[in-house]
Chain A
Amino acid sequence: MAGSTLEIKDLHVSIEDQEILKGVNLTIKGGEFHAVMGPNGTGKSTLASAIMGHPKYEITQGSVLLDGEDVLEMEVDERAKAGLFLAMQYPSEISGVTNSDFLRSSINARREEGDEISLMKFIKEMDEAMDYLEMDKNMAQRYLNEGFSGGEKKRNEILQLMMIKPEIAILDEIDSGLDIDALKVVSKGINKLRDENFGCLIITHYQRLLNYITPDKVHVMMQGKVVKSGGPELAQRLEAEGYEWIKEELGIEDETVGQEA
């Protein structure tokens, strides 16, 4: 079998003693694109952050395995080196560190000492990726995300994704704040990575993105759990009808994480 497999089993996550995720199960394999949808405050970003190792989130139960390796035992950088990538909903701004220095460090971090990418090759690859994403070349020398517009930050996340080429990527609302042209460009970037060695979990609120990036599976989160899974048609129905019908079907009154089904 090609590609990597990310298995999330019965994952429970708390922040400041409040349980946010209450048993999430999901498996993403190389070659597969999964979409996770769900109303605001239902735990989507929490899931993404917990997988990547955000310092604020505490795992209280369950496991996350990448090709059988225990991800939760790893430091954040080890998770990245093992093949995980998270395009964040709110990327950090880091003053004084240029985008290009940061990217080069990121690429070299995944390579052996002595086998660092040559500056020429790096510049060439970055130029190509920036062209592909229709980014202003000045962005390379600007400080990492500092003063970037919302859409520019998202594009910059995809630039990193394209250059780092992870095995499994989680994209948290990569489409929010993008105008329609930017949405097309970003989708084009993500689709370029599509092959049997690349698995992707796309968190989104909008069918719009999924028109460009067709998911193999769609999952709906409510109350800190995956409450429904299906094919691309599920996303279309959500777009048309909203979440009420699922809540009715499952007897959920308040879908946010504070509530129990």
Chain B
Amino acid sequence: MTVETKLPYDQEYISQFSQKHKEPEWMKSLRLQALEKAAALPMPKPDKTNITNWNFSNFKHEAAGEPIQSLEELPQEIKVFLDLENTDQNLVIQRNQSVAYASLSSELKEQGVILTDIYTAMAEHGELVQRYFMKDAVGVDENRMTALHAALMNGGVFVYVPKNVQVEAPLQSIFWQEDAEAASFNHVIVVAEANSSLTYVENYISHNQEEEAVANIVAEVIAHDNARVSFGAVDNFAQGTTAYINRRGVAYRDAVIEWALGQMNDGNTVSENITHLIGDNSVSNAKTVTVGRGKQSQNFTAKIVNHGLQSDGYILQHGVMKDSATSVFNGIGKIEHGASKSNAEQESRVLMLSKDARGDANPILLIDEDDVTAGHAASVGRVDPIQLYYLMSRGISKQEAERLVIHGFLAPVVTQIPIKAVREQLTEVIERKVY
């Protein structure tokens, strides 16, 4: 029996959308197949959070944005994410679904580094994009949201660093949802070929309070043998946006993937960060911070799967909950059979600032191999009154003391965000959300 589900967009719409963006044939058919699958696939079921009444259907799929001539034209709220003193920016600014600004240093271009929007990437590096688009990390048919993502993908960035190339300067994307109702079906692919290294940082920003929008985002990170990827993000969708975010990594032999994620959305959010340590000796550190406020409900999963010998996974989640916000933090360490000598560690800490807030830390270890090490620590607590007393005994006000303790609590992740401007911005967002 097939389930009758009406989707907001049909085959014809999607064909036209694909044509309009001059996509290669493979992409169009991938979209159409995904749309077909979406109807039959179930919605994702995040552990302990009921999302059946969340808005995933009310949004505007297409919204263009004006290009800018120089970064000076940007409004202040976007400028703050940029290191403006640096004239040699490696940067893509996507305004709604159009590229407003793009630059990549000539030195990196010469080395074969790619940092470009997803449509240009499909036009100019079609084979590469096809090779990685929802193949190794996220599958089209995992659930209705991943299928819809493939069908309706309307923006994103492609990052590629060739073999043996070390990119020191950070590569940055800013996804600026200027249109209050514009949906973001953004797709980001980051590929680091063997023995290469890169740092990538992305920011999502919207300002919609009452207007409803949807973000259905996928980021796929592929680190080939002995590659090193440092991935930082600050998600800052406003209250009106319901977000479903999948960030996934695949690490081959001796590869390292570092995640530093500032999960600062104000609307309901499901956010998954999963890394597969396929290769022997591969490593991933996944660090996230979250501030929940208002009535928002959020579900976070940080998961690392050890497949390779001596692979090493470490998860650190820190969350602050205030008002009547609800958050579930799933920390999952999974060691597959055969991944001997591997290690799965995780730590989840939730700080509650009000009695109506709810925070759930769910540490899960799934171990299918004997010769391994694993550990987890989880806690949900309040600001320690003795710590406040100590700070206040030096003249610091109660509010400032709380502020210090909260910043201190979030520091282990905030300090890991690679770009200074973004780090400062994350600190400011935290400030705004906490007070």
List residues of A whose CB falls within 8 A of some B CB. 52-55, 75-77, 79-81, 85-86, 88, 91-92, 94-97, 101-102, 105-106, 109-110, 143-144, 160, 164
Total contacts A-B at CB 8 Å: 86
Binary contact readout B394-435 vs A (1 if CB under 8 angstroms, 0 otherwise)? 111110110011011111100000000000000000000000
Q: In the complex the two chains form, what is the Cα distance from A53 to B386 in whole Å?
A: 11
What are the 8 closest A-B residue pairs judged by CB atoms, nearest first? A96-B408, A96-B411, A80-B395, A106-B394, A109-B395, A76-B392, A92-B390, A97-B408
Q: Helix, strand, loop or mixed for chain B's interface?
A: helix
Option from B385, B398, B404 in Cβ contact (under 8 Å) with A94? B404
Option from A54, A95, A164 in Cβ contact (under 8 Å) with B395? A164
Interface size on B, residues (CB 8 A): 24
Nearest to A143 among chain B residues (CB) is B408
Q: For the complex formed, measure the closest distance between the CB of A161 and the CB atoms of chain B, giving whole angstroms.
A: 10
Q: For the complex formed, measure the closest distance between the CB of B56 and the CB atoms of chain A, giving whole angstroms.
A: 36
* 16 other A-B residue contacts (CB within 8 Å) besides A88-B390, A96-B412: A52-B393, A55-B385, A76-B393, A86-B393, A92-B389, A92-B390, A94-B390, A94-B404, A94-B405, A96-B410, A97-B407, A97-B408, A97-B411, A102-B391, A105-B394, A109-B397
With a cutoff of 8 Å between Cβ atoms, the chain B residues found around residue A105 in the complex are 391, 394, 396, 400, 404
Instruction: Assess whether A54 is in contact with B389, with CB atoms less than 8 Å apart.
Output: yes
Q: Give 22 CB contacts A-B under 8 Å.
A: A52-B393, A75-B392, A76-B389, A77-B393, A77-B395, A77-B396, A79-B393, A80-B396, A85-B393, A85-B394, A86-B393, A88-B393, A91-B390, A92-B384, A94-B390, A94-B404, A95-B408, A95-B411, A96-B411, A105-B400, A106-B394, A143-B408
Given A94-B404, A96-B407, A143-B408, are A77 and B390 neighbors across the interface (CB < 8 Å)? no
With a cutoff of 8 Å between Cβ atoms, the chain A residues found around residue B401 in the complex are 77
Q: In the complex the two chains form, what is the Cα distance from A157 to B401 in whole Å?
A: 18
Q: For the complex formed, measure the closest distance between the CB of B234 and the CB atoms of chain A, giving whole angstroms.
A: 18
Query: Is B387's CB within 8 Å of the partner chain A?
Result: yes
Instruction: Assess whether B404 is in contact with A97, with CB atoms less than 8 Å apart.
Output: yes
Instruction: Assess whether A109 is in contact with B393, with CB atoms less than 8 Å apart.
Output: no
Q: For the complex formed, measure the closest distance between the CB of A30 and the CB atoms of chain B, giving whole angstroms.
A: 19
With a cutoff of 8 Å between Cβ atoms, the chain A residues found around residue B385 in the complex are 55
Q: For the complex formed, measure the closest distance between the CB of B66 and the CB atoms of chain A, giving whole angstroms.
A: 41
Q: In the complex the two chains form, what is the Cα distance from A76 to B404 in whole Å?
A: 16
